[in-house]
Amino acid sequence: MADRRYTKTHEWVVVEGKTGTVGITDFAQAQLGDVVFLELPAVGRKLAERESFGVIESVKAASDLYSPVAGRITAVNDKLTAKPELVNSDPYGDGWILKLELTGEVPAGLMDEAEYKKSAEASAH
In a domain, 10, yes or no: yes
58 in a domain, yes or no?
yes
Percent of the chain, pLDDT > 70? 98
- Which of 97, 107, 85, 105 is CA-nearest to residue 37? 85
d(CA 77, CA 103): 20
Task: Indicate whether 29 belongs to any domain.
Answer: yes
On whether residue 76 sits in a domain, the answer given is yes
With 0.85 as the threshold, say if the pTM is over it. Answer: yes
Would you place residue 68 in the very low, low, confident or very high pLDDT band (cuts 50, 70, 90)? very high
pLDDT at 123: 80
Residue 125 domain flag: no
Domain assignment of residue 51, yes or no? yes
Residue 4 has φ and ψ, to the nearest 5°, of -90, 135
pLDDT at 121 over 50: yes
Q: What is the pLDDT of residue 63?
A: 95
Query: Do 98 and 81 meet the contact criterion of CB atoms below 8 Å apart?
Result: no
Chain center to CA of 23: 3
- Residue 23's domain spans which residues? 4-120
Count of domains forming the chain: 1
Determine, yes or no, domain membership for 65.
yes
pLDDT of residue 1: 47
Residue 113 lies in a domain: yes
Amino acid in the structure at residue 45: R
Per residue in 3-42, pLDDT (tens digit) is 899 999 999 999 999 999 999 999 999 999 999 999 999 9
CATH classification of the domain holding 93? 2.40.50.100
45-70: average pLDDT: 96
pLDDT tens profile 98-117: 999 999 888 999 999 999 99
